Amino acid sequence: MTARGPALGRPPALLLVPAALAVAFLALPLVALLARTPWPDLPAQLTDPAILDALRLSLVTSLAAVVVVVAVGIPLAWLLARVDFPGRALLRALVIVPLVLPPVVAGVALLSGLGRSGLVGRLLDDAFGISLPFTTAGVVVAHSFVALPFFVLSVEGALRATSQEYDVVAATLGASRWTVFRRVTLPLAGPGVLAGLVLAWARALGEFGATITFAGNYPGTTRTMPNAIYTALQVDPDAAVVLSVILLLVSVAVIALLRERWFDQAVQGAERR
Amino acid sequence: MSLLDAQVVVRRPGHTLDVHLAADPGDVVAVIGPNGAGKSTLLRALAGVVPLDDGFVRCGRATWEGPGRTRLRAQEREVGMVFQQQLLFPHLDVLANVAFGPRSRGVPRREAEQRARGWLERFGVEDLARRRPAAISGGQAQRVTIARALATEPRLLLLDEPLASLDVGVAMALRVELAQHLREYDGVVVLVTHDALDAMTLANRVLVLDDGRAAQEGTPAEVARRPQTEHVARLVGLNVLRGTSTGTDVRLADGAALVSATPAEGQVNACFSPSAVTLTVQEPTGSARNRWPGTVTSVAPHGSAVRVHLDAVSGLIADVTPGSATQLGLAPGRRVWATVKATEITVYALTSTLR
């Protein structure tokens, strides 16, 4: 692994130079953001009620979206990984669509489906008086829509990576299919579920296009952090920088916390061996 | 009435498994045969993991699968299955692995764990109860796997090459233990193996599969003495040549001829031990009437002798002393003559399914 004297010779410049460019390209904007941040103003901004509202809303909606995504995503991933049915390939393609869909298109699509005059939205409105667009619930819907594919793909991959023979063993031991899922399949896919969870949450936290299209940008109800950054950028670019740094710090903190837990588990696993 | 009575028919593109298997309580049936003969498919069909295309599986008075639409799923059959790759659940400790079966069948946790402990004690691994599968050795893991399969008290125990993944020494020790446990077990054991030793030491019956059909069935001693297939002959280390006999003359499949001391008619196997084969460099002129030229294909130590493979006839094995191996200059490519005395050859009828 060392750069000095690898068995196959030095890494070729043709690969090293573009790789270095890629690193610079990734790092530069983040470094610039940190450099431009008016650090002394940070504490004051952090206690600004408008910013706190946006931050709280972002955390609540992104976490709610994660709950929704887990509740419907695990069963869908299991279906894709474990049950052979006609149209499975088509269904998998459908799951991937929101992944490649421009977020603003996702927002328009959500309006067509769940908007007040939308296909299903109208029925919801008529029958229960429920209207999703421009509400906090609508934010959760938008977040869930864009985050679900990340989670499903991650969990499906983990399910496929674990041998189905474990399921077979569990069945010969008398376990019903549900018990097999609960006690064997799902625990074995645990790391994949966790990874998918973080991916989905990160995607939801940063969601902007679909959210602002479907749920709007009302302070307190639908103005999440990305919406707040967008709003601030138009009037006060410095404030936008501060908000961006806060969002960056929150993301990094959560990832670091999770990584630490993963790291602990990995160490424990190594000790057991 | 047999405890297990099964006619297993599974059709796959290119090959069909069609075999009848009946066994009494306490029977240990070893299933041997080359790769692709259908051994694992047979086990999986009995377990209910692979559906039958035809036939039936009956256990005691219950029909597990069979004419009409009857088909119990794997979890509804009283089977225990042990796989070659062990497949202990990596996220559960040893005790929870063994308790998994009883728990899945509705036994309360405390009682299930108590039973599991009992099984771990019988296999001498109770001190591993709280360890994860990753933290125990291969031999220990296979003991736990067998304990796990037995913990549901199945009437049919299916073992798929249970010793194949273990080191030779570990396999040897576990083979002795397993023989003990299998003697105490009053259900039917079906044991798939590649190892003649497993069949000889663990089983009281041997079923030889060849291309999806039963090529031979009998006690281990019978099968070893008179193997019907080349695969089994190889496993037990005998030369078996197939041919058509008229009196004491046997015309072999590839056109060569052979003379034995036992007259027979029709399709036969001619069987002789590798130590009955004499090798010479010059064409022999003695009384031995069976002599074939051939080229040495491999030379390897075998116990205190040297085992030589020849391409003579349809492939022969010969055991010679290290001294004569040196003297004859035996090495791959060496041209030699193989001689077998007629009195060393046993001739017996070919089983009907192989004709």
- Among A171-180, A244-253, B7-16, the minimum mean pLDDT is found in A244-253
Q: What is the mean pLDDT of residues B295-301?
A: 90
Output the average pLDDT for chain B: 89
Domains of chain A: 46-223 (1.10.3720.10)
pLDDT at A22 over 90: yes
Q: What is the mean pLDDT of residues B274-289?
A: 84
Q: Rounded to whole angstroms, how far apart are CA atoms A251 and A247?
A: 6
pLDDT at B229: 83
Sign of CA dihedral B192, B198, B202, B203: positive
DSSP state letter for A11:
P
For residue A248, name the pLDDT band (cuts at 50, 70, 90).
confident
Residue written as token pair 């041919």:
B243
Q: Rounded to whole angstroms, how far apart are CA atoms B272 and B197?
A: 20
| Percent over 70 (pLDDT), chain B | 98
Most B CBs within 10 Å, among A163, A173, A183, to test the B interface:
A173
Q: Which residue of A has its CA nearest to B152?
A: A173
Sheet holding B213-218, edge to edge: B79-82, B156-160, B188-192, B28-32, B205-210, B213-218
pLDDT at A98: 87
For A90, how many CA atoms within 13 A lie in the half-sphere containing its CB?
3
Q: Rounded to whole angstroms, how far apart are CA atoms B226 and B208?
A: 12
Q: Rounded to whole angstroms, how far apart are CA atoms B179 and B124?
A: 15
B286-311: burial string, b at 16+ Cβ within 10 Å, e else = eebebbbebebeebeeeeebbbbbbe
Q: Rounded to whole angstroms, how far apart are CA atoms B302 and B322?
A: 10
pLDDT at B43: 94
Q: Which residue of B has its CA nearest to A191?
A: B91
Q: Which residue of A has its CA nearest to B101?
A: A173
B89 Cβ under 8 Å from any chain A Cβ: yes
pLDDT at A267: 47
How many residues does the structure list for chain B? 355
Sheet holding B290-302, edge to edge: B277-280, B335-340, B290-302, B305-310, B316-320
Please name which of A57, B235, B73 lies closest in space to residue B65, comparing C-alpha atoms: B73
Q: Rounded to whole angstroms, how far apart are CA atoms B18 and B7?
A: 7
pLDDT tens per residue across span A170-204:
999 999 999 999 999 999 998 889 888 988 998 89
pLDDT at A61 over 50: yes
For residue A92, name the pLDDT band (cuts at 50, 70, 90).
very high
pLDDT at A271 over 60: no
pLDDT at A121: 85
Sign of CA dihedral B173, B177, B180, B185: negative
Asked if B74's CB is within 8 angstroms of A184's CB, the reply is no
Going from the C-alpha of B39 to that of each of A11, A196, B36, B53, B216, the distances in angstroms are 50, 40, 7, 16, 14
Q: What is the mean pLDDT of residues B232-243?
A: 83
Q: Rounded to whole angstroms, how far apart are CA atoms B65 and B43?
A: 14
Rg (chain A; Cα; Å):
22
Pairing of strands B335-340, B346-349: unpaired
The dihedral formed by the CA atoms of A226, A232, A237 and A240, expressed in degrees to the nearest 10: -40
Most B CBs within 10 Å, among A163, A172, A186, to test the B interface:
A172
Q: Where are the alpha helices (DSSP H) in A47-87?
A: 49-82
pLDDT at B18: 94
Domains of chain B: 4-228 (3.40.50.300), 237-354 (2.40.50.100)
Q: Rounded to whole angstroms, how far apart are CA atoms A225 and B147?
A: 56
Task: From chain A, pick out residues whose CB is under 8 angstroms from the CB of B48.
Answer: 172
DSSP state letter for A182:
I
Residue written as token pair 């692995």:
B97
Asked if B132's CB is within 8 angstroms of A175's CB, the reply is no
> Which phi and psi (to 5°) does residue B348 adopt?
-145, 160
A254 vs B20, which has greater pLDDT?
A: B20
Output the average pLDDT for chain A: 87
Q: Which residue of A has its CA nearest to B149?
A: A173
B49 Cβ under 8 Å from any chain A Cβ: yes
pLDDT at A46 over 80: no
Cβ atoms within 10 Å, residue B42: 26
DSSP state letter for A183:
I
For residue A273, name the pLDDT band (cuts at 50, 70, 90).
very low
Phi-psi group of B162: left, alpha or beta (phi > 0 → left; psi -120 to 50 → alpha; rest → beta): alpha
Map residue A2 onto helix, strand or coil.
coil
Q: Rounded to whole angstroms, how far apart are CA atoms A235 and A256?
A: 33
Task: From chain B, pick out residues whose CB is under 8 angstroms from the CB of A171.
Answer: 49, 73-75
Show the tokens assigned to B166. Answer: 């273990």
Residue in B87, B132, B134 closest to A169 by CB: B87
pLDDT at A269: 46
pLDDT at B347: 87
pLDDT at A261: 62
The shortest C-alpha distance from A140 to chain B (Å) reads 34
Q: Rounded to whole angstroms, how far apart are CA atoms B143 and B120?
A: 8
Residue in A172, A184, A190 closest to B47 by CB: A172
Type of residue found at A189 = A
pLDDT at B260: 87
Q: pTM to 2 decimals?
A: 0.78
pLDDT at B335: 92
> CA B11, B39, B34 angle in degrees (round to 5)?
105
Phi-psi group of B251: left, alpha or beta (phi > 0 → left; psi -120 to 50 → alpha; rest → beta): beta
Cβ atoms within 10 Å, residue B190: 28
pLDDT at B24 over 90: yes
- Asked if B281 and B336 count as a contact pair (C-beta separation under 8 A), the reply is yes
DSSP state letter for A184:
I
pLDDT at B318 over 70: yes
Q: What is the mean pLDDT of residues A97-106?
A: 91
pLDDT at B257: 85
How far from the centroid of its chain's Cα atoms is residue B100's Cα? Answer: 29
Asked if A179's CB is within 8 angstroms of B74's CB, the reply is no
pLDDT at B313 over 90: no
- Asked if B203 and B180 count as a contact pair (C-beta separation under 8 A), the reply is no
HEC readout, chain B? CCCEEEEEEEEECCEEEEEEEEECCCCEEEEECCCCCCHHHHHHHHHCCCCCCEEEEEECCEEEECCCCCECCHHHCCEEEECCCCCCCCCCCHHHHHHHHHHHCCCCHHHHHHHHHHHHHHCCCHHHCCCCHHHCCHHHHHHHHHHHHHCCCCCEEEEECCCCCCCHHHHHHHHHHHHHHHHHCCCEEEEECCCHHHHHHHCCEEEEEECCEEEEEECHHHHHHCCCCHHHHHHHCCEEEEEEEEEEEEEECCCCEEEEEEEEEEEEEEEECHHHEEEECCCCCCCCCEEEEEEEEEEEEECCEEEEEECCCCCEEEEECHHHHHHHCCCCCCEEEEEECHHHCEEEECCHHHC
Q: What is the mean pLDDT of residues B140-145?
A: 93
Sheet holding B4-12, edge to edge: B15-23, B4-12, B54-59, B62-65
